[in-house]
Structure 1
Amino acid sequence: MANIPKDLKYTREHEWARVSGKIVVVGITDHAQTTLGDIVYVELPKLGAQVTAGDSFGTVESVKAVSELFAPISGKIVKVNSDLTEEPETLNTDPYGDGWLVEVELSDAGELSNLLDADAYEKLTKE
């Protein structure tokens, strides 16, 4: 069974969001990394880039496929996990910890209500 931390918010596209005030840390879920298989490359946005909820902000490439990453919320990229350039497999081994992707400065807190809670996400992954 997939690991779905209760303290996070989720998208239907399998990204997670850890909200801390106006800063939102974004990553891919355990379900996503399991489905993708061994991740070999990650392309992330530049520092300072603007992202829009629901729009693609990068890609993750596995031995099986290339998948787009979708922003759970809108805002400005304030931190990028550059370690993933050298060690993209961290997404497989620690998707909720060292495998985080970006930190976004939230521009519209109202968008958080569009995200799924852990129970709703778990139900989605079982469909």
Structure 2
Amino acid sequence: MTKTYFTEDHEWIKVEGGVATVGITDYAQEQLGDLVFVELPEAGKALAKGDTAVVVESVKAASDVYAPVDGEITAVNEALAGDPSLVNSAPAGDGWLWKMTLADESQLEGLMDEAAYQASIA
């Protein structure tokens, strides 16, 4: 079963079978504007909840993307190196940032579901 969670910092985390895919929300990419560069982490890097995992740069500003939970990066979206605009065109799809294993699934309980996230940005 796939379930998607959201953070106050506008990240989404989609969990499927102990593997989490992380990206930024549509709202976040709209606020940033057109992305021109995505600084991806290395696979194998351990992250603690709240650590900066990725830096995205737009024509307006650079912004950190934080790890929503503890875990280890298992894959990064290499397509973004050549086409960072995928984050703008498909933030919840082809514009994902990294995949990670979950160190502590109970951390997901502190995150928002989509209805709560939408209410928080309304």
Shorter-chain TM-score range: over 0.9
1:13 maps to which residue?
A: 9
1:105 maps to which residue?
A: 101
2:114 maps to which residue?
A: 118
1:87 maps to which residue?
A: 83
Q: How does 1:49-60 map to 2 (within 5 A)?
A: 49-60=45-56
CA deviation map 1:69-95 (0-9, x unaligned): 001111010011011011000000001
Code of the residue aligned with 1:125 in structure 2: it is I
* Long gaps (5+) in structure 1: 1-6
Code of the residue aligned with 1:65 in structure 2: it is A
CA deviation map 1:87-119 (0-9, x unaligned): 000000001110000000001001000111111
How many Å apart are 1:16 and its aligned residue? 0.2
Q: Secondary structure, in 3 states, of the residue corresponding to 2:117?
A: helix
Percent sequence identity over matched residues?
44
CA deviation map 1:7-63 (0-9, x unaligned): 520010000000012100000000000010000000111010001111211200000
How many residue pairs match? The answer is 120
Code of the residue aligned with 1:69 in structure 2: it is V
| TM-score normalised by structure 2 residue count | 0.96
* Long gaps (5+) in structure 2: none
Backbone CA RMSD of aligned residues: 0.8
Code of the residue aligned with 1:105 in structure 2: it is T
Q: How does 1:34-73 map to 2 (within 5 A)?
A: 34-73=30-69
1:3 maps to which residue?
A: none
| TM-score normalised by structure 1 residue count | 0.92
